[in-house]
Structure 1
Amino acid sequence: LEESKVVVSEIARLIEQQHRQPRDFAILFRTNEQPRLFEVELRKARVPYVLLGSQSFFDRREIRDILAYLKWIDQPDDEISLLRVINTPPRGLGPQSVKLLIDRAVGRGEPVWRVMNDPSAIQDLSPASRRGIEDLRAILRDIGEALTRGPMAEATQSLISRTRYIEELNRLYDEPQERETRVASLGEVTNAIAAYQQRNPEGDLGGFLSEIALAGKEMGSEKDKAAAKNAVWLLTMHAAKGLEFPIVYMVGMEDGLLPHSRAVKSGLEKDIAEERRLCYVGITRAQENLTLSMALTRMKWGKPRPTTPSRFLYELTGKSDNPNRYRKPSSGQRG
């Protein structure tokens, strides 16, 4: 959180005091989950940006789904949110059952959720559909109580577990890397809620959702080519190949991000070497100024965890033997 605030405040200051243009700046990151905090801070600072090489955090399917659950739990009569999650993941409420519920709600002039809670309105639905409605009732009751009883981040983790959403991602996506990225995005929702509650100890779910609604408004993307003409660039190091910018911020210089956790876990030098090449790509994108940054702690599923400086920072300063390596060098070799 502090990393994004410091970087964005410096960009805003340089734009304001030194009359730099937003397009002079690029923020480079390694993973698709990293830009969320920078998107939020840039929007707060009203600095236009363009996000390349990664889908906007707020546009991802899994993020929209979990936020829809939270909106519905906060406001059960929110029909847009309810209809998004009513059968996500599948719980026996297929298209025909949903259409029937909507038709009855329209005929009565009542919200769909009220119809779903009227036994006489659902008695002719299939047993599977009625079980699905009971499942939703239980989720609303239990997660609603958890949100008022303890930390909202923990309640959100319970929601993800209760809906078996991660199992649904495993069912939908065959590629392990795709599944890993989407699960990590769910963790970022939990982190965002934990950060909100740290800033606002008396804040509630409605306050968090209002803040997210503000942050989620489109301010700059590939959809808006006009903004890209004069906007801060947020992009992955892969997407930065062949591009140059006057001022570059390489963020998340931590083992587990750069090099990526997959490369660290593999223990293979060829995987670390590929990450080192990506680091070199990022460094050589800067024409005038380069800033390397890291966070001392990073949220993991709503709880702060200490980080380890990237081994590449040690290499850049001539310390090839990084004392913070996860992986021991093989016999007779030095890192």
Structure 2
Amino acid sequence: MQRTLRVDSRLRLVSFQLNLRRMSTRNHLEGLNKQQRLAVEFPPNNSLQILAGPGTGKTRVLTSRIAELVLRHSHPPESICAVTFTRKASIEMKARVREYLGVESANQLRLGTFHSVCTSYLRAYGPWVKLDPEFSIWSKTDSTLLLKYIAEGLCKGLSRKISMNKLYNLFAQAKEKARLDPCRRPEDILEASINFQVLAKSGSSDDGDPLDSLGYISEIYSGYSQVLTKSNALDFTDLLIKGLDLFQLRAKPKEIGRLKHILVDEFQDTNGIQYLILKELFKAAQGSISVVGDPDQSIYGWRGAGMSMHVFLKVDLPETKDICLEQNYRSTSAILDFSLSVISQDTTRPQKTLFTLQTPVGPNPAKKALATEDVEYTSIAHEIKRLIENSDGILGHDDCAILVRTKFIATRITPVLEAAGIPFRVLPERSLIDLPEIKTLIAFLRMIMKTSDTPMIIRTLVGPLGADKEAVTTLLHRSIEQKNILFHTLERLQNGTDPDTTPSSIGPVTTLIRLRMHLKTRLDMGATPSELLRDAIKQTDYYTYLKKKHALQYEHCIQNVQRVLQHARIFPNNMDSSPASRVYAFLNFMRDLSRAKIKTGKVTLLTCHAAKGLEWPVVFVPKVIEGVFPHAKSLVDDVETEIAQERRLLYVACTRSQSLLYMTRPETIFEGRNADKRQIEVDESRFTKTIPLELHDKQFSDISKGDLQLFKDILKRNSKDDAPLQA
């Protein structure tokens, strides 16, 4: 009998593998180089660290390894957990895995960001950590809106002195540190780390004593935490902490215990909380983990990530094997040599290199000094025009990127591009759902689904319903005092059971409660997201509100609203699912709409941090001077770890380029403002000053026919019409 069962299980396994191969459309091993294949075929029951330099095909290796685990080693797809750092990366990975395994098997993988993986487990097992599985997830925008109203209720004008974004980040860091050190509370960490200069808004002037402002920080944190708890809501930090709580339970859910292999993308970006999550996951998988990362691209130390995570992995799993991916498929040999000359200045880094089989080597990167910043930016604009005019139709505006150290530098460059008639875009662009007129529109839907969604209640009240902001602030603080959610406080106000009535808010509050009741009734009767949105627009006279609120951009706002309504109208409504499920599906769809258009015909401006993971044929890096590379903040204490991170950031910027790389710098800059403004000389960045002369040109060079042919080969194009966009 036992032998029969073994035979049956083997037959089922063979059938499963054959079905997968029939559904796949691509061989996962095809086209891999020797080192890539070594990483993909590495035994699955061991720990593997893949050190992948820029442009070496790490995503291909990671997805091929997933296919290898399923097809060759018979791991059920649901037993594999793959973690990425961005939604974009997870979407790209899932698309590639579908080619190898088919749609059904790819969808069974636990593949997503740290936050989405934690969310999926908490939805299923929330009660195990005293969490209602119907919890809401509040974005940073939601949380900062809430923080603003809590701050104003404690001290009028406080939100004009303190940056709510910085305050949100401070709270996140305090919660993470407290979770890593159970002997400390977030409140204690806040008291020890609060610094007004860090929290102050850029350019703000505080008329009072900064210490007075700091005294409210703990109260803001207390109120914020209470609203989250009462609303059954988690911010992004809470999501990771609750996920870690679940994974660290001694008696774990069986589903976690069934994990066979963990994979991690961009491992060098892992912070302390995220590493502990991974540690629990690979413990469940008996130490079977594959991480892909590059210590040379570790640039997020300010949010807790660092090269030390590679060391921690070796301590926890001493048998971890290293495999280096060094063959670059992105850049010319000249760009790689220049980039390696930058990063090799760090003698403590793991010794690895980059090479390409592309020939010839390509033009040397340009390293040019200009008299002033204005001359520098004008030269960049002229060079972009010259390249496009002389590239035989191969290059266009959308093939060029300008990577800046800070957003402020971008604001200095954009007027120059405008004057030169060069089309451009500044990333990250706001997605449709992030526009003010759309945020409020979406708030109608979220308010219907959950009365505990306090940020959406606030947005609706002070938006089209016209409630006074001070009155809403008062009501929010009253709800905190009553240990209640805001909506219940509004109901008490409408019912006359609240003795401390705010007369100016009664009308908008009554309208809100009636509107919510009306829309909820329509939802229960089967109304689609499109019908609910149109009804909300009509009930609130939304277009009139937009005309008053956004008079100068009214037509543009209307166009954006119409775009959302169009998306809602054509959104596939599965009539077999509940009306509420259809609304949630539409909200997720809106969130996932691409931020950046694929084909723009514009030069791209963005920070070096934001450029990580992207590539362009032509890259300009301006203002490569001391105080920028490395940034002035890293020079205050002259801490080598911070300076090394600045060096890695410049390396990341260099390795975004496929064909042409330009490093420019001004010899003088203006310092101070107005009457105190003066011109001073500045030094070239220490990171580029020592690069050998043979690796760069001091002027912008002409492009030869041989160079053009090389560009065609690298970019895989014959004419501009064939150009694929990478950004």
Query: Under a length normalisation based on structure 1, what TM-score does the superposition of the two structures give?
Result: 0.49
Higher relative contact order (CA 8 A, sep 6+): 1
Rg (Cα) greater in structure: 2
TM-score normalised according to structure 2 size? 0.25
